[in-house]
Chains A and B, each alone.
Chain A
Amino acid sequence: MARNRREFRPDMPRNGAIGNFSRHFRVQLIGAVVKTDGQLIDEALGGDSAAFGQLVTRYQDRLYNTLVHVVGSADAARDVAQDALVQAYVKLETFERASGFYTWLYRIAMNMAISYRRRDKPTVSVEHAREALGHEPVDRGASPTARLEQQERACQVRAALATLSEEHRAILILREIDGCAYEQIAEILDLPIGTIRSRLYRARLQLRDQLKGSFQEEAK
């Protein structure tokens, strides 16, 4: 299997912007004083709850961002993220460290998110996506027209994502938003890599069909 082109590393934000690279480099420079996940887990297991607090701070935003896309609601994403972090702390002793802490945390969170979605299927519409997500972060540097288009496109994509099955959406988000390798997605969702590959393909086709008009134009 070829190496993934976007390696998934919790301490290195994706998108490769200069700012991100600089931040990553800084983290490496002060790496001597930044505790690793393993060290923090050891301390948390030794009774230092503040150590787990550092893990929460380290991963909560990334986890939350992923969950917003999976569950389609900011409030629900916050609930699920909090529940997952609580569960991770309570079950920390059972973490065998065969995978990264973040992968393990994601497994807990994704199980909860998929259960949540199955229980509380939201209405699928652009308007609903807009309302459920509340304030939409936008590119402040863009012109007003470009910002409007950007928002509109984001709402269309979200509404299309919401039409996918829970499994297909979760795989697509883990791949495209988090940049997870197939192997990591397989660990998180407890599925064979072959299944990840075929589901990802089907998810993409479904999404493409939902957004056919706009993407055909863009592809040209």
Chain B
Amino acid sequence: MNPERREEMISAYLDGEISVEERAQVERWLAESPELRQLHDELKALGASIQALPRHQLTQDLQAAVLRRAEQTVLAGGAARGPNASDIRPASKIPLWLRGAGWRRLAWPAVAVAAALVVMLFDAQQAPAPREVAQAPKGPTSIAARQEVPSAKLAAEAQPQTSAASPAQNSTAVAKPSAAMSRYAATPGEVAAGRELKDADTSNPQLETIVYRVSPEFLRENSLEKMLAKSQIVWSADNPADPSFGINFKERDEPAAADSLSMKAASPLGRKAYVLRVSDEQRDKILAELGAKSDQVRKIEALARSVVGAAAKRTDGDANSEEHRSEAGRAVESDKVAQKVTTIRPLRIVLEASAPESAPVAPADGKAKP
């Protein structure tokens, strides 16, 4: 047997990974050869040194981030078309514009360019131009541009337009989907860039939130979760311990209403919040299903619109906020029509349990919509 083979067997002997016959052979060599005994001792000390390396522990739980990114990946079709595990690189190492797979990689820049052309076309004819919106087509290639979108969207929605449909308004409505999508949708870029965008989901002040008052049974039996599973809707629990939890409430312009929605005041029997990733069709379907359960579920209020209204109020001072809300609502509706095909939006549903006898009672601020 050649020397290398013998030394290899000593290495395996240390690991207990040799046969009984080989073991007897190695032990004979060790008894006879000082060189092999020295090798044995050195390798043994080496192993002990590696095993003595301090253990490292994560400083943060990966659970929430993993589930969030996995959901985004599944929604974007990563499960079916994603690359092999061996090809995956850490998200932070992949250039943003290269994230995603297949045709989607080209589709988003194409949508962005098309939107930019539309804006530029109207820009040449009309003034003032919605310049913020014109920057939005950079969305898929630039985090910075993406971060500008909320203010662009809010500013555009807050324009005190009184005419029904001016060309400038049209241009905003057409161009906005790309801006809104780059903020909301699970684009290929966002899937890989989950870490950068993870807070965009629950801390997004425009995240549509619908609050329901439900029976304790409905909450206890996880009925909504069953409905979501049945409809194959991906969701995650909105963690009340998360600092971003309930940010919509804080953003609202009615402090009393915000107070009424605090967990303590409004939900002595329990409260659960879910963040769904839904298409418009899925959203409508699940809301219709909830609406059909009128014996157990009652809609209290929807909060996203009020945030838009608050933005309009902040911009225009004493102007009639109801009028602006309806303007903003129209703009949002335009968004919805334009995005209907591909957009996946986060939707937060909050369920607050109430005692059977107090189920029909309106919340303290009196804002309930029966």
Instruction: Give residues in A with beta carbon < 8 Å to B.
Output: 1-6, 15, 46-47, 49-50, 52-53, 56-57, 60-61, 64-65, 68-69, 74, 76-91, 93, 107-108, 111-112, 115-116, 119-120, 133, 136-139, 150, 153-154, 157-158, 161, 172-173, 175-177, 181-182, 197-198, 200-201, 204-205, 207-208, 211, 215-216, 218-219
Q: Mark B90-125, 1 if CB is under 8 A from A, else 0.
A: 111100000000000000000000000000000000
Contacts of B90 in A (CB 8 A): 76, 79-80, 83, 112, 116
Query: Closest 6 interchain pairs by CB?
Result: A5-B16, A79-B90, A111-B86, A201-B11, A137-B54, A89-B70
Tell me the count of chain B residues lying within 8 A, CB to CB, of chain A. 61
Check if B53 is an interface residue, CB within 8 A of chain A. yes
Candidates B15, B16, B87, B229; contact of A200 at CB < 8 Å:
B15
Question: Which residue of chain A has the shortest Cβ distance to B50 in the bound complex?
Answer: A176
- B58–A61 touching, CB < 8 Å: yes
Q: Give the residues in chain A near B50, CB-CB below 8 Å.
A: 157, 161, 172-173, 176-177, 207
**With A2-B18, A47-B229, A219-B45: A64-B53 Cβ-Cβ less than 8 Å:** no
Interface residues of B in 353-369 (CB under 8 A from A): none
Residue of B nearest to A173 (CB): B50
Which of B12, B23, B51, B85 lies in contact with A112, CB distance below 8 A?
B85
Q: How far is the CB of A122 from chain B (nearest CB, A)?
A: 14
Contact of A87 among B7, B58, B61, B85 (CB under 8 A): B85
Tell whether, in the assembled complex, residue A115 and residue B89 are in contact, meaning their CB atoms are under 8 Å apart. yes
Contact residues in B for A90 (Cβ distance below 8 Å)? 70, 73-74, 78-79, 82
B residues 37-60 in Cβ contact with A at 8 Å:
38, 41-47, 49-58
The listed residue (B41, B45, B73) touching A86 by CB distance below 8 A is B73
- Whether a CB of chain A sits under 8 angstroms from the CB of B62 is yes
Residues of chain B at the chain A interface (Cβ within 8 Å): 7-8, 11-12, 15-20, 23, 38, 41-47, 49-58, 61-67, 69-71, 73-74, 78-79, 82, 85-93, 194-195, 229, 232, 234-237
Which residues of B are found within 8 Å of A74, using beta-carbon distances?
56
CB of A220, distance to nearest CB on chain B (Å): 8
Q: Closest residue of chain B to A139, judged by CB?
A: B54
Provide the residues of chain A in CB contact with B91, threshold 8 Å.
79, 83
Question: Which residues from chain B contact A198 at a C-beta distance below 8 Å?
Answer: 8
A105-B98 Cα distance, complex, nearest whole Å: 26
- Residues on B with C-beta less than 8 A from A83 are 88-91
The answer to whether B66 touches A85, judged by C-beta atoms less than 8 angstroms apart, is yes
**A4 nearest CB neighbor, chain B only:** B16
- With A60-B61, A65-B57, A197-B11 known as contacts, the answer to whether A204 contacts B49 (CB < 8 A) is no
Would you mind naming 19 contact pairs between A and B with Cβ atoms under 8 Å apart? A2-B20, A49-B70, A52-B67, A56-B66, A61-B58, A69-B53, A81-B58, A86-B66, A90-B70, A91-B82, A112-B86, A154-B52, A176-B51, A197-B11, A198-B8, A201-B12, A204-B43, A208-B43, A219-B44
